[in-house]
Amino acid sequence: MAAYRALLRLYPKDFRDEFGHDLVQLHQELAADRGLAFARRRTALDLIITVPRYRLEHLMDEQHTNTALYVVLVGLVAAGVVGFLTGIYPALLFVVAAAVVAVAQRSRLARAIRTPDTDVRRRRLRWAGICGAVFALSIVTYLADLGDDEISTASLLLHNLVGTSAMVAMVIFFVAGLLTPRTPAPA
């Protein structure tokens, strides 16, 4: 019986709190009615089938799903940017995949962004524009520095750091701005 109680720890805590006592009681009744071997087989089968299901349900609640979606989007964009910067140009398909996921899941993302602030959409899009301007400026200065015969490694690293950071921030703010729901104007 102690082994079965220990196996119940595999279930999520809220499930254990609600149904743990009933599961132990059922195991005891099965052991008393049909024998310990049958009770072990029956509860082992039940554990194999239901533990993964309840664990997935616990992990896939609304908040975890939205967080996972954000992580996937940022991960795809980052993989595309890193691939592009390292010369693996097909990695830009990751950025395209991020855009497709963002468009396909826009209603879920929009519902997840709940804010009473009416200017948040505009601010996010403004920051995307500012980051885009910084990115463009870093590209222009980088190209100008490439014409210089004595360009330093530190200068190249600075251009890459500023440009990449601005580009990633631009994409994130732009996607977040587009996915932020518009609030109706006051009547």
Give the CA distances from residue 140 to residues 24, 92, 119, 144, 169, in Å, rounded to whole numbers and listed in that order. Answer: 69, 21, 31, 6, 18
The pLDDT tens digits for 64-81 are 566 777 777 788 888 888
* Euclidean distance between CA atoms 155 and 87, whole angstroms: 20
The pLDDT score that the predictor gives to residue 64 is 59
Confidence of residue 158 (pLDDT cuts 50, 70, 90): confident
Q: What is the pTM of this model?
A: 0.39
Q: How far is CA 76 from the centre of its chain?
A: 10
Q: Is the pLDDT of residue 114 over 60?
A: no
CB atoms within 10 A of CB 144: 11
> Taking residues 168-173, what's their average pLDDT?
91
